[in-house]
Each structure stands twice: as structure tokens, then as C-alpha cells.
Amino acid sequence: MSLSIKTAVYIDGYNLYYGRLRGTPFKWLDIVELFQALLKERDQNESLDRVKFFTAYALANFATNGTASVEAQSTYHRALKLQHPECLEIIYGTHTFDKNGALLPTFIPGMPYDRTSRTRVWKLEEKKTDVNLAITMYRDACKGLFDRIILVSNDSDAEPALQAIKEDFPHIMIGVVFPIPPPLPGAPVHRRISGSLTNFAHWTVQNIDDAQLQLAQLPPKIPTKKKPIIKPAHW
């Protein structure tokens, strides 16, 4: 009997949320179950050894539901860790913003760019997540931990890391899953997949559909030794 092929998944949490989950009823997503199902469908004797989820703590002042959003994120992460303590790792970056606002060029429809016309705005930036993801993928490749890696992102910032892994470790197969919905028949395509990521992948999954997300939901109530973890009401 052949040994299973050790596979790791690296998820850009920001990309997954804003590209696929925001505004849907599928935010209570079991990311481990989702990719176990994907590997089963691929039927290539791949075993899901590790899922590494890169994200940042939500800030109440900038969240749609304020402190409820912060609590929902914390609850979700606790649920994931409890369900998959052996294979799931959550790596946190940070959010930063200028308390005085960022001074950016003003957009005026029909008018050309004018660097002298500026507006002060709130500008929230996620820091370290992209770098953490890229460095972790490459270091894992250096250590020979996995035979195959799957990147979940549509952000071209990950291109240099994929290129380096493909060139330095040609035996590692690279997959890319783009966290965007399938296009609706006859509707214009609003989000295109990153061609630069595709160039360094051995295989890709172009989108994630609702049925896949629905089948990979966490239980709405997860028992613990104390109070159960309950899916947030507004999710």
C-alpha cells in the first residue's frame, strides 16, 4: 500500500473572507473539512496534514457590527481550534491605521488624477499577513515538511513565494484555490483570477461554490468542558 502524500494548505484569511464569505451565510466555515473534501475529490492519495490560516484580529471601531464582530471572530477561531487541534494553526498579523487619517488623492468622476487635490480618510491596513504566509510556505518547503502545498488566495503578492518554491523545490507540487464565487450565467465577471499565481501552480481551482461551503459548515453548537461554543447569531 502506497504512503499518502503529505499536503499542507495555506489560507489568506483576508482574501477568503472578502473574496468569498462576506455577505453570505457561510462564514461559520470549517476550513479543514472544506479542504479534506477537496483532496478526496482529487483522489490522488493526498493526506491533509496541516492547515495554516493567516489572519488578523478584527478592530471593533472598523467592524460592521462593532464589538459583536470582534467576539464573533474570536468565537469562530475557538471553534476551529477545538474541532481540529492537531492539524490547524492560526497565525496572526495586525491591523494598523493612522489616527489622524491618511491624506489620499481625491477621486472625481470624469476628471484626471490630480496629486494636489487630496482628502483625509480612514485607511485600515492589514500588516504582516502576506509576509507571514510567504515566509511560512517557503520555510516549510526548506524543512521538507510536505510533498504538496495548496495556496488559498487571489492576491498576486504571493507570486514571489510560489516562484521561489517552484524553482528551489521542483519536487513540491503547488496548487492554488481562488476564493471567489462561480460567475453567474450571463453576468459580467467582477473578480478575475490572478494570472501570476496561475503561472506558478501545477493545478488550480477557479472558484468555490455555495454547495461546497454549505457542506463544510461547523456545527452550530460545539460542546466544551464549560459553556458550549455557539455560532454567532448575525452569522
Sketch out the chain's domains with CATH numbers: 5-94+126-230 (3.40.50.1010)
Q: What pLDDT is attached to residue 89?
A: 98
Rounded to 10°, the helix 159-168/129-143 angle is: 10
| Residue given cell 475557538 in the structure block | 78
Backbone angles phi, psi at 74, to 5 degrees: -60, -45
Backbone angles phi, psi at 161, to 5 degrees: -65, -45
Q: What pLDDT is attached to residue 56?
A: 92
Backbone angles phi, psi at 98, to 5 degrees: -85, 120
Give the integer Cα–Cα distance in Å for 32 and 114.
47
Q: What pLDDT is attached to residue 1?
A: 45
Give the integer Cα–Cα distance in Å for 208 and 21.
10
Mean pLDDT per 10-residue segment, the chain (235 residues):
87 96 96 98 96 89 80 97 97 78 82 85 75 97 98 96 98 97 74 90 96 98 94 94
